[in-house]
Structure 1
Amino acid sequence: LKAIVIDCPKTFDAPVADPERFKAAAKKFAKILLDHPVCGQGLPAYGTNVLMNIINEAGTIPTRNFRFGRFDKAAEVSGEKLAEVATARGGKATHACHPGCVMRCSNVYPMPNGKVCAPIEYETAWCFGPNLEIGDLDTVAMLNYICNDVGLDTIDVGCTLGVLMEAGVMPFGDSQAAIAALEEVAQGTPLGRVIGGGPTNAGKLYGVTRVPAVKGQGIPAYDPRSCKGNGVTYATTPMGADHTAGYAVTANILNVGGTVDPTKKEGQVELSRNLQVATAAVDSTGLCLFVAFAVLDNPEGLPTVVEMLNAQYGINLTVDDVIALGQNILKVEREFNKAAGFTKADDRLPEFFQIEDLPPHHTKFDITDDELDEVFNF
């Protein structure tokens, strides 16, 4: 099952208990977003792929299946390059993914074959770019397009292709081989079925131990050895290696919501814990995750979110109530995982992150199992 489509002839506005109060809070929140350098400048200019050059410069961009932290052709698949090419071809460097979005970080990328890929996100540009040592934006777009067409997650597919390149099925950096392999998914060939099965499955079938995945889900575009807060999130989030569940890049790399040295272990467990709680709460509101940048830096951010909730539903939540909501969501998710057979042994990163140095920082993931087990102590 790939999708459920509902054809609704009528649309309606969500009911709002106090429209005027809600409008005032929403207007205030929009200003909070637009006044923030990430939400109001970086994302509207270049979309999420504004991160490519930033993460590469930070030495945290997983390259060649997580062997290196920098890629010498990162600029060729960056947000700046995407904006240049998309605009020249009549596409859009950025646009709103839905009416009313003030950040407008989506994009429309026309491909040489006349088709359109929309959008190309940073994590997608990473997994089909630096991760595979491919420095060509049109290749990234084509791989993205195929994933959209057949209904596959780009991060998982990129990690799977990295494992296959590790196994010698195709060379690193071979654009055409990667495209040809991914096209086999729709054909239902043995290789296509392997790719569709994800990175953990591919590693088992080809005898590869260097598999960047947690709980079967591919690890995204920030190496946990030089962005250790994200490493804690990858290991412990109930969903598997999900960067969005506790995006520690904020304090580790972007100095948003404070600063925690990304290469040291101190403070990473607390950072990930707090972000996972906050993210679970924000996700339940329906707000875009990217509001977190402004919310973390502006003391009025979270109270304004609470004000919007109270105005919409006619309730009287406090900030503490919303934090408790996030904690409860995580407890429920972990109880589900426990019932499904997951244990704390599944809240771990692959071993190679702990024993191999990551250039250029030459750091390992050194947060202990006992420390990881403390993440959900609330």
Structure 2
Amino acid sequence: MSSEGEVPDLSGDRGFREARESTYKYALAGCALLSVLTTVSIIAVLVLDAATFFEAVPIMEFLTGTDWSPKLQPVHFGVLPLVLGTVLITIGAAVIALPLGLLTSIYLSEYASDRTHSVLKPMLEVLAGIPTVVYGYFALVYITPALNVVIRFTNGVLDTLTGFLNGLLGLSLELQLPTLGLFNGLSASIVVGIMIIPMVSSISEDAMSSVPDSLRQAGYGLGATKFNVATTVVVPAAVSGIASSFILAISRAVGETMAVVLAAGSQPPNFPPVQEAFGIPYVAPADLLGLYAESAATMTVAMIDIATGDISGGSTAYYSLFAIGITLFVITLTMNVVSDVIASRYREEYE
């Protein structure tokens, strides 16, 4: 029988426990170091091989050239058509995904019941898990023919309308929408927009759900409706998360490859003519919109085309792959930095 002054040993086998914790610590540190080394290695490879390319092609010629033809003589390495194709498809995808994703997140956060939320949120996650090649095939086989049917119907209506106006007013108006080719930027924009909707809605909905209910109740107490509270209280309070979701989704659209190469093809868009007004160069909006009807290869598509083509390794055309890669890396890195700045600048902290 133990005495009252005896203190029980509650430490256990501290030596084994400390060794185990040290093992966990160094294993996790090794994983973190491996991630950093992988990132640094990728950047180093891009920079070194891109430097080899820029020894043969001046960097300003690469950045300002309006013709991209690395396989045909005479070769041209102007990246602007690829950047233009990337921007066109990204803007088209953003026009579709950002408003739909934000409205979906508002519904899930403010209107949907728990049962509805438990059904719709997993469905959005499933949408995000569909392989991108399936989206590209869907655009090629279904979306492009459907859009051409709509365009033909619209052109018929425009013919009737312009014929009536021309006969009534003595004008000679001609309004026609261009028919889409097999590969076109419009279909690619639509499927990429559908692809990034889950990212926008999921991140935005998480940001709105983190807004305290006390702010909502204060709005209701002042007589605001649910829509007023959602748009004037919840959305402004979650603006940092919403803006971050927008930029991350756009970054995702910039880097998309398989869906774009199937829907938009591998031919860069023809750079539209540059006009001047009061000494300021510009491109006519109608010329830019017309590019959606033709093939619009992006920077990632051009990289795939070079990597899988018959270009010999060590050639200037081969090293152009890394020049495009470093350009794309700078663009996406800039967007991610902007996202972090916006998130930290407008982040709201609640107790």
Please identify which structure carries the higher helix content: 2
Instruction: Name the TM-score, length of structure 2 as normaliser.
Output: 0.24
**Higher RCO (CA < 8 A, seq sep 6+):** 2
Tell me which structure has the larger Cα radius of gyration: 2
